């Protein structure tokens, strides 16, 4: 034994001997937790309040063409560089609620109760986390849908297949409705399993609601302080939003970068398998990010992890996200 370890050992003995009984260390036999705290997070934009309500995270097997114009190895490397499983796609989902002061507005609804059950609660958490945040879905005035992919519309329905927001006006982009609800467009998508699945799913959800929706156009104030911004490419009517109150502004980017979104922040020219018009999605992505940078506008991103409140900066030929500091008070 070296002098140092001998002294340390003696000091240890002395400390134990001198410790009063009341200070006996706790035994490590308390049960370990099997779930996280409910995930919701609030911040203010002027007098509007944003509540980000997590819908969950998935780690799914990744098709080789997950990025249409990059090799499987190139994509695997970016996952590995970000300390995620290289052969999988890790994706997170974060819808938001905006309390404008006069209206309670939900923007997108997550993967819904069926996925909640099938995934044993890993995704489709929006409705339970909403309740945990103290927000009663019966008191929601407006639900704004950005586009018709399942992770944004499935949560329109509750577990009983009825409206999850029975007192809300459901607002959808008119360009999105025109595309996905059109039988001619649906028949053109035959043979493409991704498109086919999305056409069928949109009908399943909106038919359950009796197709009772209000269509809105881009470039309009569709709720107090919430303006729709045309962002086509990911889907034909994909829409982002600017939430403005006083001198504060927030860009709600939704799926400008989608799926494992960080891939497309670093490599904005990469084309996600699920982008319907891939070159247009790339163009829209650069346009909106350049606008956010020029206007120094913070971003709320649907697929940016939780809470997904970030700023975007130029980084070489691409961009990088800088997460906002986690605020413990409002
Ligand atoms: Zn999405």
Q: What are phi and psi of 74, to 5 degrees?
A: -60, -40
Q: Whose CA is closest to 50, among 226, 292, 231, 256? A: 226
Cα 27 to ligand 1 centre (Å): 45
Per-residue model confidence as pLDDT tens for the chain (330 residues): 455 555 555 454 444 455 555 566 666 789 999 889 999 999 999 999 999 999 999 999 999 999 999 999 999 999 999 999 999 999 999 999 999 999 999 999 999 999 999 999 999 999 999 999 999 999 999 999 999 999 999 999 999 999 999 999 999 999 999 999 999 999 999 999 999 999 999 999 999 999 999 999 999 999 999 999 999 999 999 999 999 999 999 999 999 999 999 999 999 999 999 999 999 999 999 999 999 999 999 999 999 999 999 999 999 999 999 999 999 999
Cα 246 to ligand 1 centre (Å): 29
Q: What are phi and psi of 257, to 5 degrees?
A: -120, 125
Cα 281 to ligand 1 centre (Å): 13
> According to the model, what pLDDT value does residue 29 have?
87
The answer to whether 56 and 100 are in contact (CB under 8 A) is: no
Cα 256 to ligand 1 centre (Å): 9
Cα 24 to ligand 1 centre (Å): 52
Cα 220 to ligand 1 centre (Å): 22
**0.85 surpassed by pTM:** yes
Cα 325 to ligand 1 centre (Å): 24
Superfamily for domain range 37-323? Ribonuclease Z/Hydroxyacylglutathione hydrolase-like (3.60.15.10)
Q: Which residue carries 């309670």 as its tokens?
A: 104
Task: Report how far residue 153's alpha carbon sits from residue 38's, in angstroms, rounded to the nearest whole number.
Answer: 21
> According to the model, what pLDDT value does residue 35 have?
87
> According to the model, what pLDDT value does residue 15 have?
47
Cα 285 to ligand 1 centre (Å): 14
Q: How many residues does the chain have?
A: 330
Cis check for the bond before 168: say yes or no (omega within 30 of 0): no
Task: Report how far residue 108's alpha carbon sits from residue 148's, in angstroms, rounded to the nearest whole number.
Answer: 10
Task: Report how far residue 98's alpha carbon sits from residue 96's, in angstroms, rounded to the nearest whole number.
Answer: 7
Residue 56: its H or E element: strand 56-61
Task: Report how far residue 144's alpha carbon sits from residue 172's, in angstroms, rounded to the nearest whole number.
Answer: 6
Query: Which residues lie near ion ligand 1 (Cβ < 5 Å)?
Result: 151, 255, 258
């Amino acid at each position: 034994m070296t002098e140092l370890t001998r002294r340390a050992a003696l000091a240890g003995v002395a400390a134990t001997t001198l410790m009063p009984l009341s200070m006996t260390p706790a035994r490590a036999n308390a049960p370990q937790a099997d779930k996280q705290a409910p995930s919701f997070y609030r911040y203010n934009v002027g007098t509007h309040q944003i509540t980000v309500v997590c819908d969950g995270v998935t780690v799914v097997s990744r098709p080789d063409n997950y990025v249409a114009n990059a090799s499987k190895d190139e994509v695997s490397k970016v996952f590995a560089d970000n300390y995620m499983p290289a052969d999988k796609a890790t994706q997170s989902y974060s819808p938001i609620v905006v309390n404008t002061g006069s209206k309670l507005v939900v923007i997108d609804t997550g993967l819904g109760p069926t996925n909640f059950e099938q995934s044993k609660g890993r995704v489709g958490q929006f409705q339970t986390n909403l309740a945990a945040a103290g927000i009663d879905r019966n008191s929601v005035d407006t639900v704004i849908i950005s586009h018709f992919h399942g992770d944004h519309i499935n949560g329109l329905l509750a577990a009983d297949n009825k409206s999850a927001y029975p007192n809300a006006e459901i607002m959808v982009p008119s360009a999105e409705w025109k595309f996905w609800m059109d039988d001619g467009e649906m028949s053109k998508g035959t043979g493409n399993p991704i498109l086919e699945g999305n056409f069928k799913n949109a009908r399943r959800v909106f038919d359950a609601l009796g197709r009772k929706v209000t269509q809105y156009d881009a470039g309009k104030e569709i709720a107090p302080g919430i303006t729709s911004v045309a962002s086509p490419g990911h889907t034909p009517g994909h829409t982002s939003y600017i939430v403005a109150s006083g001198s504060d502004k927030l860009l709600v980017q939704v799926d400008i970068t989608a799926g494992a979104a960080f891939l497309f922040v670093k490599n904005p020219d990469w084309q996600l398998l699920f982008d319907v018009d891939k070159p247009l999605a790339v163009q829209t992505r650069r346009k909106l990010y350049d606008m956010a940078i020029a206007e120094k506008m913070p971003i709320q991103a649907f697929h940016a992890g939780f809470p997904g409140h970030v700023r975007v900066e130029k980084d070489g030929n691409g961009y990088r996200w800088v997460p906002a500091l986690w605020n413990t008070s409002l």
